[in-house]
Chains A and B, each alone.
Chain A
C-alpha cells in the first residue's frame, strides 16, 4: 500500500449492519438462553440458572466476535480494481480487477430488508474469488453496482 496521495478512501458497511447483527445475535441468544434455562431447570433450579447464565456469556462472546468482524469489513474502489478486506481470525484481502467481473449480485434477505441493507457480491470466472460486501445501504449498493457494471464493461477483458 504505497502512494498515499492517489489512494482512495477505505469505505465500510453501514452502521446499521452492526444493529442487524445485534438483533440476530440477540434473538438467537435469548432463545438459546430460554431453552437451556428451562430444560436444565427440570433437574434443579440452580442448575437452570447456571445454564442460562452460561448461554448469556456465550451470547456476549459471540457479540464481541461479531463486533470485531463487523469492523473488519472495508472496501476500496481503486482505479483499476476493487479491494475488499475482511476477517478477524483469518484476515483476507481480495483484489478484483474491474475487467474480470462477470456479473455483480445484489441480494437482500428478509432481515436485511428490515434494516434497508443489501449485500453485493462480485463474480469472476474464478470460483475462488470471494469479493462480497455485506450491509450496504440501498443507495450505496445501487451506486456501487452501477459503478462496477459500467467499469466492468469499459475494462472487460477476454479469458
Chain B
C-alpha cells in the first residue's frame, strides 16, 4: 500500500453544522419542556427548572462542538481514516478493499440543512464499521462514489456505476398495505366502541380508555411504517441491491447479495386478495436491529415492503438466482398433525438452495442458500412420532431464520439430514475456493511499464496487459490488480 507520509494526508472536518444537528434532537425536546414549564406557571420551582434546561442545552451544544473539533477524516489512497475523541482517542482505519457497503442516511434535521451521514460497513465484525456524521450532501455523495470506485479498484474519479431501477412502491399501495395488516383489527374495534357507546355509556368509559391506548399505539405504528418506507425505491446496482426510502429522514442503503442469508416472501391473508406480497432478506453484518445475542449481527430488511409477485420474483432472482428447486408436499397423513396449514406446506431443495412454504394465514416462503447453512436439525414431537413424521429445520444466521421441511415422513427426514449436510458442505467448499481466488490478484507480478522504468519503484495506476491472459487489459491501482478488465474497449469484471 502506498501511503504518503502523515504530514501530507489531507485531513478534513465534518460539516460545521454538525453539532447543531447532533444536539438538535435533545435541544428540541428541552425547548418544548422549557416552553411548557414557562407557560404553565410562575412559581420559583419552574424558574429553577428553566435554568436546568438552559444549562443542559448549553452543555449538549458544547459537547457537540468539542466532538466536532476533535473529529477528522481523510481518504488516504487505500484507507479511509477517521479520528475522533477528546479523552479517548479513537483512530479508525477502514481499508477500502474490505468495504461491504456505503449507506447514506439523512435524518430529518440533517436533511433540512442539507447534511447527510455516511455509514461504511466492512466485511467481518460490525464493531469495525465507520460512521461520518455529518457531511454536506455533495461531499457525502462524492466520498461514497470514491470509496466504491476504490473498492472495485477503478479510478477514484469514476462516477458511481448506473443503477437500474427495478421498482418504486406507490404511496397509495403502501398506505393500503399498512392499513390492511393493522386496520383489519382496528376497524371492528372502532365499530365495537361506537356500538358500546350507544348501548351503555358507563361501560364505554372503561372500554374507551383501553381503546384509546390501543389507538395511539396503532397510529404510531402506522406512522412509523409509512414514514420509514415512503417512496421505497429498489434498484439493481453492480454492488448489490440499492434501496432508498423515507418520508422525513431518508435512507439510501445497499444490500450486498453475498451477505444475504435467507430470503422470505410473506403473503398475509388479506394481502392475498390483492395479490400483494412482502419480500424480506436477512443480511449478515448489516447495521440495524441486532439478532443473535451479541454475536454476528444479522438484520432483517424489507427488500420490497409491498409489491406484486412478478417484481418479487425478479428481486429474488437477483439476490439468489432464479433456479427454483422442485417442491413436494408432505405425506397426506400430515393433515392430522397440521389440519389448517396442510394444504400450503411444501418444501424442496436443489444442490444449492432450500425452499419451503409454511403457514396458512401468513403464508411464508423461505429460500436459504445451502452455503449459508449454520446447522441442520430434525425434530419429532410425540404426535409426529405416532404418525411417522418429522420436521427438518435448516438454520441460517440470525434469529428464527430458517427453512422448514415440516411434517415429512421419517424416511425422508433421515435422508434429508444426510443430504443437506453433504450438500451444504460441498457448497461451502466451493464458496471458499472462489473466495481464495482473488488473492491471485495480489500474487500476480506487478505490471511492467512499456518504457522499462517499472523496476524498484511502484508502478503508477493504469490499464496494463492482463496477467491472467484472459482479457486485453486489467486495471492496476498502483498497489494491486483490480477485478476490472477490458476487452476491445468493453468493460467487464473478472475476479480472477
Per a CB cutoff under 8 Å, which of B259, B298, B377, B381 touches A95? B377
Contact B375 A95, beta carbon cutoff 8 Å = yes
Contact A125 B381, beta carbon cutoff 8 Å = no
Contact B421 A95, beta carbon cutoff 8 Å = yes
Please encode chain A, from 67 to 102, with 1 for each CB lying within 8 Å of some chain B CB and 0 for all others: 000000000000011000000011111111101101
The interface residues of chain A lying within 8 Å CB-to-CB of B380 are 90-92
Given contacts A97-B421, A158-B435, A159-B284, contact A125 B377 (CB under 8 A): no
Contact A94 B397, beta carbon cutoff 8 Å = no
Contact B417 A95, beta carbon cutoff 8 Å = yes
Contact A124 B374, beta carbon cutoff 8 Å = yes
The interface residues of chain B lying within 8 Å CB-to-CB of A96 are 374-375
Q: Which residue of B has the minimal Cβ distance to A99?
A: B428
Does any Cβ of A come within 8 Å of B160's Cβ?
A: no
Given contacts A2-B418, A127-B398, A129-B395, contact A97 B428 (CB under 8 A): yes
Within 277-306 of B, Cβ neighbours of A (below 8 Å) are at 284-285, 291-293, 295-296, 298
Q: How many A-B residue pairs have CB under 8 A?
A: 104
Counting contact residues on chain A (CB < 8 A from B), the size range is: 20 to 34
The interface residues of chain A lying within 8 Å CB-to-CB of B18 are none
Contact B377 A102, beta carbon cutoff 8 Å = no
The interface residues of chain A lying within 8 Å CB-to-CB of B399 are 127-128
Contact B295 A125, beta carbon cutoff 8 Å = yes
Q: Which residue of A has the minimal Cβ distance to B259?
A: A159
Contact B425 A100, beta carbon cutoff 8 Å = no
Does any Cβ of A come within 8 Å of B400's Cβ?
A: yes
Does any Cβ of A come within 8 Å of B431's Cβ?
A: yes
Does any Cβ of B come within 8 Å of A114's Cβ?
A: no
Given contacts A1-B418, A2-B418, contact A123 B428 (CB under 8 A): no
Does any Cβ of A come within 8 Å of B372's Cβ?
A: yes
The interface residues of chain A lying within 8 Å CB-to-CB of B296 are 102, 125, 159
The smallest C-beta distance from A124 to any residue of chain B, in angstroms, reads: 4
Per a CB cutoff under 8 Å, which of B374, B385, B417 touches A125? B374
Q: Which residue of B has the minimal Cβ distance to A90?
A: B381
The smallest C-beta distance from B399 to any residue of chain A, in angstroms, reads: 4
The smallest C-beta distance from A92 to any residue of chain B, in angstroms, reads: 5
A94 to B435, CA, bound (A): 28
Given contacts A89-B382, A127-B293, contact A95 B376 (CB under 8 A): yes
Interface residue ranges, B against A (CB under 8 Å)? 123, 259, 261, 284-285, 291-293, 295-296, 298, 372-382, 385, 393, 395-402, 414, 417-418, 421, 424-425, 428, 431-432, 435
Complex A-B: 28 CB contacts under 8 Å: A1-B418, A2-B418, A80-B421, A81-B425, A90-B379, A90-B380, A93-B378, A93-B379, A93-B417, A94-B375, A97-B373, A97-B428, A100-B373, A124-B375, A125-B397, A126-B395, A126-B397, A126-B398, A127-B292, A127-B399, A127-B400, A128-B400, A128-B402, A129-B375, A129-B377, A129-B395, A157-B428, A158-B123
Interface residue ranges, A against B (CB under 8 Å)? 1-2, 80-81, 89-97, 99-100, 102, 123-131, 157-159
